[in-house]
Every structure is written in structure tokens, then in C-alpha cells.
Structure 1
Amino acid sequence: MSVSAASADQRRGRAGRLAPGVCYRLWSEADHRQLPPQRVPEIREADLAPLALELAAWGAGGPDALPWLDPPPAGAYAQAAGLLQLLEALDGRGAVTVHGRAMAALGLHPRLAHMLLRAKELGLGGLACDLAALLGERDVLGAADDADLRSRVELLRSGGRQGRGADDAALQRIAAEAKVWRRELGLRAGEGEGSPASSGVCLALAYPERIGQNRGGGRYLLSSGRGAVLPRQQLLWNAAYIVAAELDDQGAESRIRLAAPLEEEELRRGAAGAIRTEESIAWDRGAGAVRGRRRELLGALLLKETVLAELNPERQLQALLEGIRLEGLGLLPWSKAARQLRERIGFLHRHRGDFPNVSDEALLGSLEEWLAPHLYGMKSRGDLQRVPLFEALESLLPWPQRQQLGEFVPTHVTVPSGSRIPVDYSNPDAPALAVRLQELFGLRETPRIAGGKVGLVLHLLSPAQRPVQVTKDLASFWREGYFEVKKDLKGRYPKHYWPDDPLEAVPTSRVRPRT
């Protein structure tokens, strides 16, 4: 890491005080001009967990209680306090606990202090001392291809006799430090040594947010929610769970430098207090149904998921309504009658305004009012096919409006032939009647609805039910358009009845009128 300009000048001045001479720097003048003027205060970049624990042990309510040359960053300090709560050193109010005072008395980093104290309770105190001493030094295997911390424990306990290019002097220092921590914990000779295979259990105490779940290919999802990766294929690739003791914190996925495997049974035993259970009842788009699930979670890790056999009725109903909002009204059984009722209500809403809005947006926004009473006990796409949709839509209308609907917006219009023809309200601006031309003989004016205010658009059909003319003015059609249409239809349908005067002719739904 490059020095600051102030540090470089200080070193030059220190040499100049001893004797006159020339200062040579191993960088260019241009590089010198790019140096930061001052070094960033360590407190702005350091791990603040030890400081936060020390302040709490003193009884300080937080960093604001003390004067600082450079105050600790608020975000970093809050993160450190959160870690201490995770390590049981602080309670929910931020006050130090009895366990926290014992951690502070050890003089270790809070992570390692917590590991020593809790591992001793688990009968793994000696192993935790070895791990604490190893993690306090640089990796004894340097840039080894193996990130497995268990191999370092084995190497330490063998006194370096296993070779592997270890730093013997470092191993001696680590062994001496591990003895110091054994004395601090009051361990007798051989007590709590444990197998290196249990290293993951100890590490999970120190790094609970770095428990990783295997995602394949050496990639892990950490309980903190971040991704991590083992850079080279090795034995740990096959571990279902690991605990990462050292990460480089670079890029989207941190590189794991040191870790140990952890069995799920060990994880559940050691982190039982941190495992939470959540139950969810929600619409499953793939299944087309409401599904209930119970999930066991450790931070961001999903440990287990099971399907709930029995669902709370109210939560099931709400999940079904959310499913309809998500999928749309197409989930519902739209019969011809239900669809026409909706269109008729929409027509009156458009032309009068006092009738309810039945647009998709309005209906989806008021499902609880008109649809929910008909959905109790239902939870799937198939169940929804039993919904009495006509009755549900009709419930939007008070009794006087139901009567007005039948009076002003009829479902059918009786034409001169006696047939009852359904009215198409799909376009509220132009309700339509599709009827065979011969059934309208004798009808002088266009049929009207809504108290005579709205005329129907007539789709006049041939005997084969094919449209031959569309008109809003039937009287004009009889005067001007009928005779041209008659020539064409009489040639194609010679057996049918094509009178010269349609207004005096007998209407018929047959080939010819009855005599």
C-alpha cells in the first residue's frame, strides 16, 4: 500500500536531521503528486467490534459519549454492535452481558473470545485454542491450494512433522499462544482437545454469518446472504456446509481462503438459537393453487422446506385473492351469462355513472367485496371453476339497480319474427344486435334501449348467418340499401323469401313465411 505524501515527507525529514544528504524515492515525481495528502485515520477503516465491546464494558452508552479526534463511522460502529449482539456480548438494549464481560477480559477479538468460551462449554476448548492461535497468525501454509483449516490444526498438533512447506517458526509461536489460551480458560492437560474434524463447529461460533451452503462448483451462499467461492477444486467442494474463517471480500463472490466443513446435524445443534421457522401461505403459479410451506432458515440459508397439510382458512382465502390479482380475471369461469352481465353493467356505468365500475382494474381492486364470500374453502384453479360468477357480479347491484338493469339494458330483443336475439354489449359505445335480415321485415325503425336513448347497431345477416350489412339506421337501409342486398342474396339463396316491399312483408325465421 502506498504511503501518504505527509508520511513520505516525514521520513525525508527524519533522515535529514541526522546528516545532510540527498533523498532518493523509488517512485516517479508524477506518482508522488498522486499520493494522498494524509493517511486515512485507522479508525475509519478498522474492524470496530473490539472497540465497541470495550466501550460497552466501560459502561459507555456508545461512541457519542466520548470525545474523539476522529469519531468512528456510524455505519461501521452499528455493524460492529450488531455482530456483538449476534455473539451474545450485548443485549437488545446494547448493554454488555455477563458473557460479554468474560469475552472482554480475554483480550482477544470478540469473535475468537466468544468461540473459546462457548467451545469450552461444548467440550472443545482445546481445539478452539488451537484455532484462535492459528487465525491470529498468517496462514502457516501460505498460498496453499487447500483452504481446509483442519489440515492446519493437524499440522500444528504434529509439531510440523507433516512437512508441507510450513513455517516452523510460525508453528512454534502458534503452539505457544495456544498454550496461553488454554491457561486462560483453565483447561487441564489434554482437556477439550477434540478432533480437527470438529473445527467447523468451533468456527460457526466465531463466524455465524459466514456459514455457507453448497451451491455446486465450489460456490457457497453464506448465511449473511453473500456469495463465496473456493477458487480451486479441493476436498471442501463436496461439503454440504462450510464455515469461512477468512475471505478476501473482493468482487461479487468473495474468495474463501480458510474454511472448515460443517455437518448439518452439527449446524443445527450449534446454531439452534439462530434457526428460525417461517410459515407462508401463498399462490403458487406453477401449481395453479394456494400452497402452504414451512421453512427452516439460518440467515439467508434455507435448511428445510415442508408442505403444510392444513391451512388457515382466512390466510388461504387471502392467498387465493392475491393469486387472482396476480394471474388476472381469466382464472374465473366466465360463462356467456356472466360475461354479458358484466358488459351490461359496464354499459350503464358508461352512460349513467351511478352503476358500479366493472373494469378489470376495478374488479381486481374490490375482490374482497364481491368475490371473496364465494371463495371460502377453495384454493386451486380447478376449485375456481365452481364459483357462481353470475351471482357474484350481481351482488354488486342493490335491488333497485337490478330492476333497472333488466328494464334499460335487456339481455335479448324480440324481433318481428318472434325470435329473441341476444344483445352484444362488448362495446359499451355501440351495443349490437346480429340478426338475419328476413326476421326484421316489417320493422320500420332501429330498436333502441336505455329508455330509448341508445340505438342498437344492426348486423344484418344472410340466411347462412354471414353479415351482409351493418347499420345504425334501419329506415335508411330499407329505402336505399335493401334492394342492392336483395339482388345479391336472391341469386345466392333463390328458395328464400325476398319481397319487393320489406316493410309490408311477413317476417320469418324460416326459408319462407308460413301461409
Structure 2
Amino acid sequence: MGGVLPISDVVDALAAGTAVLVAPPGTGKTTLVPPALAKAFDGKVVVAEPRRIAARAAARRMADLRGERVGATVGYSVRGDRRVGPHTRIEVVTTGLLVQRLLADPELAGVGTVVLDECHERHLDTDLALAFLIEARQALRPDLRLLATSATADAHRFAELLEARIVAADGVLHEVRTVWCPPGRPVRPPHGLHVDPAFLDHVADVVRRAWRDEDGDLLVFLPGAGEIAAVRRRLGELPVDVLHGRLAAGDQDAALNIRSHRRVVLATAVAESSLTVPGVRVVVDSGLARVPRTDHARGLGSLATVRAARASAVQRAGRAGREAPGVVYRCWSAHDDERLPAQPEPEVAVAELTGFALALACWGHPDGTGLALPDPPPDAAMRVARTTLTALGAVDRDGRATPRGHRMSRIGAHPRLARALLDGAPRVGSRRAAEVVAILADDTVAKGDDLAAAWRQVRDGRDPRWRAEADRLRRALETTTGATGIDDPAGPAPPAAPTAVGAAGPGAVLGGAALDGAAAAAGSGRVSRRESGAGADMSGQGAGGAETAAAPRRAGDAGGVVRLPDDLAAALLIGLAYPERLARTRGGGYLMAGGTEAALMSGSALGGQPWLAIAVADRQPGQAAARIRLAAAIDEETAREAGAALLSTVDDVTAEGAERREQLGAIVLRRWELTDPPRELVERALRAALAKQGPRWNPDATRLRQRMAFCRAVVGAPWPDVDDAAVVAHTDLSGVTKLSTVDAEHTVRALRAMLPWPAAQHLDTLAPDRLPVPSGSLIRVDYSDPQAPVLAVKVQEAFGWAQTPRIGDGRVAVLLHLLSPAGRPVAVTRDLASFWRTGYPQVRAELRGRYPRHPWPEDPTTATPTRRTNPRR
């Protein structure tokens, strides 16, 4: 092994009690600590790793150090692969499997110590396992020893949660030198899944440089399998191995074996921690990471490429110093390094939380309150998860897990996939259901976007990883339900072609977020009334809430179940898992039942199919439609069966007509004219359309509204607000059948209906329509501005007027527009006395020569007001 690792110096301290161990990469915290704890204490030591590849590698390394085979003293258990024996004392598991065990047996009978390795990575299962273990220790197993290990210094939160001390293994095993290698020219930042090819060229150049200048194997960190393939092509003749999560277990293990020749290992983040890639002396770090993003409103997920956090960069660099001094080539500058985030985002902040929420509900804390979670889950994501689980029948209205929810949890798959397995097996057989769900659980086994074709391919090719998972799911189904022998003995059925139906249309959304029909129509002048279809729901429960034993059946089945061919069986299972992703062609793409547009990739074998059941779709930033990545052709009948909970009948009434629609979520299946719609829906639709277009106005209606608005501004209550919305609300539409017949008289009547009684009797006093002036004329008041009513009067008609008239019960002086004989304003004032004294002489001097036939007395205060001109001489 080449010497004693530094971690041995703190093993004795760790044996004293629960702790958080902080140790740099390569110090042996994964391989030396568990054997020391097994030696010091009774009971099994369970080591939880965030990844399957790390669990297998850690078990093999510990077994090698003991000179044993895996499955003797040291074993491992991961999904679909278990190697333990009667004498196994140390078992390495994935954190997801540990969560399943805790839900099944919170006391962890026979276990003395649990080690949560690499807890800083903050996977959902790691957070759950930590919280469950802390509560189990407090309530059931005070003797249970807990150890959280981390390669980063951000351990204080874990120490606080565990109420434990921090034990640090200082220093690194070997020195790792840093070489900064920023691109020589600008490259575009990553966007969604896209990485600038120029940057990948740069990474390949750095790899070649490191290959020339350094000794030992190279470990190159890239964000995903696509970038690994692209860089591999660019490296040409160099000997390359790859390591990522999509590889089969055997291929992953092969990349971790010692080789006789020098090599380049292209890897994703799976190689960041808990793994020793033998022979590596050089790390080339692209500085990129791939993280999940979830569109909770649409129920769609995607992956985004981001800059890796500084803690991740430290982890990656540590791979170079595990066995000897090494070097890390970082494909960015030291200046850029200072701007990196300190820690990666915890998965709970960005991931889809349905499985997380079900685990909390099964544990007894539906919203996580009271549990020692490192970070609380986001409220919006938890609301979506709760809605989904309620629709699946996994939780009740209070969020508590139902018996069905507990069964779904024991399946060991996402709740949606567990639902498809539980409800689909009686319909298609447990074997076929398990096989399809195994593909849905790990869609990387599918080549292309046609799931039914992928199913046939992996079934014929006997993919070992897929077969192991399918067998596990089938056993879990039988163990959970006690149902056996529900397979069809005749073997696979022939494929069937889906049948076409009519055009799709907009509608309501079910799934990630619900959109009521009336809300969807808001502002559109239409009103919808929705009635559910057959009373079915996603949970397989009847109206009384008791789970039904009968399998889903097609309409027309007489006491039995019609056998589905493989293509439709695959589509049915997809639809049971993702009913909101049932989709029908519209335009050049598809409309999903959830209301989202989707499109097939160019050249897809599914092109031209009228209906699809979409298993995997993502929506990249800036794209209007989701991209379909995996789907199966389905017909309308099977879509109705899978999406029974989304079937509804909608009465849609607009201002110009009414129709009744049968819908599958947002997909319109049938529509027909509604000849006698309910009167209340007609009036609601007319009013919605009138609100959109606005009330009809004529001069009388406009003036009445302005006068009422003046009263409201001056007096306040009980005078009403007379904006458009209020007028529309008071418009009498009884007997109206079309919006075109609503005229200004309806508006006048609405305004009069809004007049407050008995205050309305004083309208002419408060806001007189006309005011008398000294000449005897009655001149209309302009109330366009309720804060400043205007009275426009010719100067000659105002002679002798000493005071400006007041309205609004004497509270408001009108704004006088004094006019020339031609009707043009010569003065604007609320102070007549001041005008006669200072303004009139100037007006008289300017206008008397222009209008000689009009009187211009020197003293207007004593002159006779007149509407007439002077007689001709």
C-alpha cells in the first residue's frame, strides 16, 4: 500500500463516539475507518456511499486489504447487485438502499455502526439517511454509532445536526501541484446541455500537453457522457478508458483496474470521491459539472451544465495525489477560480422531490418538520410533490402515507414508476411490467427514442444490468403485493399500430400544476364547467378511498382483461407513470395532456404517430417546446385507460356560442355544439367578453360616469367607483344572447343602478350638469377631470360675476376657461376678482380692435353681461 495513511492517526479518536470526520481525498477515510470500527465494536458496520460504483469499489478495496474476496468479511449491496455472506461484518450500500432499509426497519437490527461517507455531496438520499438515522438514534437506538465523513471543511452543519464533534485529519497524503490552463481565446459559456466545441478542443489540447509533460495515468473530468465521447474523438491515438454512470457495472469496474500501460481515463463526477483510479498522477479538470433542473409547473426535468464549485475542484484535484505526488491541470484561470461558488448546490434545492416527499411521509414527517435535515426542502417543489403523491394515492389529504404509499415505497423505485408497476402488472403481467419499468428507471439502456423498440432490443440482447433490475422489480412486486403468477404464459404479443383521432386543442392541466378550466379561460371571454369522466383517479382507488383490486380495463371488457401487445403494453405503463405526458399530434409536434408542447427529434422512428406516451422529455432554456427523448406509440383507447383520471367533460361557453368538449387533460378528444347552455354560464361568458372589450359608451353615458366620478372624488362613500370593471359588473345582461346586442343604453342603465340611494337625489346639486352664468345662459360643466371640473364661458357673458361658482356642496371652485368671441381661451382662473383687476385690461387691449362689435367696457364688474354683439351703426 506504500506506507501508513494519515487517517490511522485519528482512528482511536473516532472510536470514542459519534463524530464528523473531515479528511482530504486520499487519506483512507473510506477504506481504513470501517474496518477499525468493526474491530472495536460489536454489530455490523454499514457504510453508505452516494453512488453504486463507489460502493462496489470501496468494498473491493477493503476486501483486497484483508486478502479476502468480496462477500466474506466485507460485502456490498446496491440496486440489482448484492454480495454479502453469513460472516459479513462490513457492508457497503448506496444511501438510497440505506433509506429503504430504515423505512422497513428503523431500528436497523444487527447494525452497530453506520458510516455516511461523502455526506458533503448532499444527494437527496444522503440528506434523508442522515435525518432518519439521527431520529432513530434518539428514539429507538441510542447505542447506534453514527459517523459522517467529508472531504471538505464544510462540516459544521453536520456536526450540529449530529450533536457531534469534528475530527480532522490534517494535511494531504501527497503534494498536488496546480497548473492553470485557461483557453487562449474566448469560448461561449455552457448553455443547457451545450458545451462550446471550441472549449472541448481546448480540453483535448490540455490533455495532450499533460500527456507529454507528465508521467502516470491521466484522469480527465468532464460534465457528461456526450462530452466524454467528443473529447475521446479529439484525442485520436491516445489510449483512453471511460468512466461514467451510464456504463454497465462490469465496464465501470474495468476502468478501476490496474493496467499495464499508461492511459487517459475520461470521467464524470462519479470519479470525484470515494474512488481510487489506480495509476493516476495527473488530473485534467474541465471545471464543468452537470446538475438537475426541474420545471415544476410543467413537471419536466432537464440537466444544466454549470461551473463546478470550488469544493468539487478540490475533490477532483485530490485524485492526482492518492498514490504519489501529482499535478492538476485546471482549464480556467486563477482569477476565475476565486469567483467559483464555495460549495455545489444541494440536490434538495433543485431536484424533483416526489420520491423524497414519499420517504418523509412513510417515515412520519410529511413536510420534514422536526427532522434534522441539513436544508429544508423548497415549499413550491414540496407542494408539487404532495399533489402528485395525492393523485397517486400514496398519501392522504394530510400528507400521511397510505397503505398503498407504503407499498409503493417498498418497490424501491420512483413513486410514479412504482404506481405503473403496481397498477400495470395485473394488466400486462408482472414480468413485462417489471421489464418496462426497469427501462424507465434507467433510460440509458434505451438506444433511440422508441421505448418499445428499446424493450425488444434489450430483451433480445439480455443486457445484464437491465435484466438484474427487472428481476429485482418483479421480486419486489411479488413481495410487496403477495401476487404471483399474474404473467401471461403465452409470451410477448405482436405489436399493434395506434389509431388516429381528431385534432387537439387547448385545455386544463393536470400533473405538476393544476389549471382550472375557468382560470385557463380568464380574459378570453369564455367560461368552462368541468365534470370528471369515469370517476377514476391515478391511485386505483374508488370514490370511497378504498383501494380496488381490479386491474384497469378497456371499455367493453366483459369480466376479463384484453391482452395488450408489447407496444401498447409499454405505452400503457408509461401512461400510468406519467399520465400528463400522454400526447396527441398537433401541428408539427405534440400536445401533452399536461398542456405542454413537445416535439420529436429529427429522424425519429416515432414520427407520424398520432398518439404518444412520453416517458422522458426535457425543456431546454429558451425553447418553447419540450424535446421528446423516450416515448412509445399509443392509441386513443389505451391513452384513455392510462389517463382515466384526466378525462373530463367541459362545457365551454363564449360570447358568440357554446360547445361541449370531452378532454384528456389539455387534449380535446371530441367537441359538439351545446344548443341550450345553462343561462348562468352564458351570462358569465358575456360578462367576461364585455370586460375584455370594455363597456359601450355614448356622450350621455360618458357624462354620467364623469359626474359620478366627481362625487366619488369629492364626497367619497357612498358614491361608488365607476371604473370599467364596476360598470361591467352592474350591466344587466338578462335576455342577452350575443355581445353585439349590448349597447350604450345598457351602460347608462348600469350607471343608474350604481347610483347610491338616497344620496343620488343630490346628484344635480353636487355635480350639476349645467351652471347658469350672468348672461342667462346654462353652460355645461366639463367633468373630464374629476379633480378640476371646467366651465368654459365667453368673457362678455361673465361681466358682473364677482365670485367663481362652486359645486360639490360648495367644496370645489370650478376652473373657469374665459373665452374670446372666437371661443378660444384667453384666461384660466378660479379667481374672477383677480382676473377682472389684473388680467382683463390686457385682454381688452389685445382683443377690442380684433372684435370691435363685441363690448369691451373699462369696468367689467359693472357692465351688463350679454350673449349678443353691439348693433351695427
Q: Do both share a fold (TM > 0.5)?
A: yes
Q: Is the 8 A contact 2:619 2:626 kept in 1?
A: yes
State the match for 1:334 in structure 2.
697
State the match for 1:236 in structure 2.
606
Q: After superposition, what is the alpha-carbon deviation per residue over 1:258-287, rounded to whole angstroms, capped at 9, x for unaligned? A: 5321233553466556412233557xxxxx
The verdict on how the C-alpha distance between 1:395 and 1:269 changes in structure 2, with shifts beyond 3 A counting, is closer
Q: Is the 8 A contact 2:617 2:628 kept in 1?
A: yes
Q: After superposition, what is the alpha-carbon deviation per residue over 1:344-386, rounded to whole angstroms, capped at 9, x for unaligned? A: 33434444445514353xx746865xx14x2324476534324
1:489 aligns with 2:873: no
Q: 1:260 is matched with which residue: 622, 629, 632?
A: 632
Using structure 1 for the length normalisation, give the TM-score: 0.64
Q: Is the 8 A contact 2:853 2:871 kept in 1?
A: no
Deviation at 1:342, TM superposition (A): 3.2
The verdict on how the C-alpha distance between 1:440 and 1:400 changes in structure 2, with shifts beyond 3 A counting, is same
Structure 2 unaligned residues grouped into runs of 5+: 1-49, 69-257, 259-275, 284-314, 323-342, 366-371, 395-399, 412-416, 472-477, 479-483, 498-564
Q: Distance in 2 between matches of 1:268 and 1:364?
A: 41
1:275 aligns with 2:641: no
Q: 2:574 is matched with which residue: 207, 228, 234?
A: 207
Q: After superposition, what is the alpha-carbon deviation per residue over 1:300-358, rounded to whole angstroms, capped at 9, x for unaligned? A: 5444556645443334434444555566xxx2233333333333334344444455143
Matched position secondary structure for 1:206: helix
Matched position secondary structure for 2:781: strand
Q: Kindly indicate whether structure 1 or structure 2 has the higher relative contact order, using CA contacts under 8 Å at least 6 residues apart.
A: 2
Q: Is the 8 A contact 1:442 1:504 kept in 2?
A: yes
Q: Is the 8 A contact 1:294 1:308 kept in 2?
A: yes
Deviation at 1:412, TM superposition (A): 0.9
Matched position secondary structure for 1:358: coil
Q: Distance in 1 between matches of 2:685 and 2:829?
A: 48
State the match for 2:66 in structure 1.
17
State the match for 1:410 in structure 2.
768
Match for 1:111: what amino acid? A
Q: Is the 8 A contact 2:446 2:454 kept in 1?
A: no
Q: Is the 8 A contact 1:422 1:433 kept in 2?
A: yes
Q: Is the 8 A contact 1:148 1:236 kept in 2?
A: yes
Q: Distance in 1 between matches of 2:445 and 2:362?
A: 39
Matches within 5 A, 1:51-90: 64=364, 85=393
Q: Distance in 2 between matches of 1:466 and 1:249?
A: 67
Aligned residues: 443
Q: Distance in 2 between matches of 1:189 and 1:397?
A: 79
Deviation at 1:435, TM superposition (A): 1.2
Matches within 5 A, 1:9-408: 10-18=59-67, 25-27=278-280, 31=316, 33=318, 64=364, 85=393, 94-95=402-403, 111-112=420-421, 114-119=423-428, 133=435, 136=438, 144=447, 146-151=448-453, 167=461, 184-185=485-486, 187=488, 193-197=493-497, 198-208=565-575, 209=578, 210-214=581-585, 220-223=590-593, 230-245=600-615, 247=616, 256=628, 258-264=630-636, 266-268=638-640, 271=643, 274-281=646-653, 289=655, 292=658, 294-304=660-670, 308-322=674-688, 331-353=694-716, 355-358=718-721, 360=723, 364=725, 368=729, 371-372=730-731, 374-378=732-736, 382-398=740-756, 400-408=758-766
Q: Is the 8 A contact 1:230 1:257 kept in 2?
A: yes
Q: Distance in 2 between matches of 1:227 and 1:364?
A: 34
Matched position secondary structure for 1:424: coil
Q: After superposition, what is the alpha-carbon deviation per residue over 1:474-500, rounded to whole angstroms, capped at 9, x for unaligned? A: 344334433332232232223434444
Deviation at 1:434, TM superposition (A): 0.4
What do you get for the CA RMSD once the two structures are aligned? 5.4
Q: Is the 8 A contact 2:855 2:869 kept in 1?
A: yes
Q: Distance in 2 between matches of 1:407 and 1:83?
A: 63
Match for 2:574: what amino acid? Y
The verdict on how the C-alpha distance between 1:83 and 1:129 changes in structure 2, with shifts beyond 3 A counting, is farther
Q: Is the 8 A contact 1:200 1:242 kept in 2?
A: no
Match for 1:202: what amino acid? A
Q: Distance in 2 between matches of 1:481 and 1:344?
A: 31
Matched position secondary structure for 1:337: helix
Q: Is the 8 A contact 1:249 1:255 kept in 2?
A: yes
Q: Distance in 2 between matches of 1:79 and 1:478?
A: 76
Q: Is the 8 A contact 1:441 1:504 kept in 2?
A: yes
The verdict on how the C-alpha distance between 1:24 and 1:389 changes in structure 2, with shifts beyond 3 A counting, is closer
Deviation at 1:391, TM superposition (A): 3.8
Q: Is the 8 A contact 2:452 2:570 kept in 1?
A: no
Match for 2:64: what amino acid? A
Q: After superposition, what is the alpha-carbon deviation per residue over 1:367-418, rounded to whole angstroms, capped at 9, x for unaligned? A: 65xx14x232447653432444334323344554233222343211222333
Match for 1:410: what amino acid? P
Match for 1:147: what amino acid? D
Deviation at 1:466, TM superposition (A): 0.9
State the match for 1:285 in structure 2.
none
Q: Is the 8 A contact 2:431 2:487 kept in 1?
A: no
The verdict on how the C-alpha distance between 1:388 and 1:419 changes in structure 2, with shifts beyond 3 A counting, is farther
Match for 2:62: what amino acid? G
**Which is helix-richer, 1 or 2?**
1
State the match for 1:467 in structure 2.
825
Q: Is the 8 A contact 2:775 2:797 kept in 1?
A: yes
Identity %: 33
The verdict on how the C-alpha distance between 1:267 and 1:478 changes in structure 2, with shifts beyond 3 A counting, is same
The verdict on how the C-alpha distance between 1:429 and 1:79 changes in structure 2, with shifts beyond 3 A counting, is closer
Q: Distance in 2 between matches of 1:484 and 1:322?
A: 56
Q: Distance in 1 between matches of 2:805 and 2:354?
A: 84
Deviation at 1:421, TM superposition (A): 0.5
Match for 1:233: what amino acid? G
Matched position secondary structure for 1:296: strand
Q: After superposition, what is the alpha-carbon deviation per residue over 1:165-197, rounded to whole angstroms, capped at 9, x for unaligned? A: xx3898xx89xx9xxx9x94475658x834443
Q: 1:426 is matched with which residue: 781, 784, 787?
A: 784
Matched position secondary structure for 1:207: helix
Q: Is the 8 A contact 1:276 1:297 kept in 2?
A: yes
Q: Is the 8 A contact 2:496 2:568 kept in 1?
A: no
Q: Distance in 1 between matches of 2:618 and 2:789?
A: 67
The verdict on how the C-alpha distance between 1:238 and 1:510 changes in structure 2, with shifts beyond 3 A counting, is farther
Q: Distance in 2 between matches of 1:448 and 1:213?
A: 69
Q: 1:441 is matched with which residue: 780, 791, 799?
A: 799
Q: Distance in 1 between matches of 2:818 and 2:845?
A: 15
Match for 1:115: what amino acid? G
Deviation at 1:422, TM superposition (A): 0.5
Deviation at 1:95, TM superposition (A): 4.9
Match for 2:798: what amino acid? L
Q: Distance in 1 between matches of 2:829 and 2:791?
A: 10
Using structure 2 for the length normalisation, give the TM-score: 0.41
Q: Distance in 1 between matches of 2:64 and 2:401?
A: 52
Deviation at 1:467, TM superposition (A): 0.9
Q: Is the 8 A contact 1:130 1:153 kept in 2?
A: no
Larger radius of gyration: 1
Structure 1 unaligned residues grouped into runs of 5+: 53-60, 87-91, 120-124, 161-166, 283-288
State the match for 1:56 in structure 2.
none
Matched position secondary structure for 2:572: helix
Matched position secondary structure for 1:238: coil
Q: Is the 8 A contact 1:150 1:260 kept in 2?
A: yes
Q: Is the 8 A contact 1:242 1:262 kept in 2?
A: yes
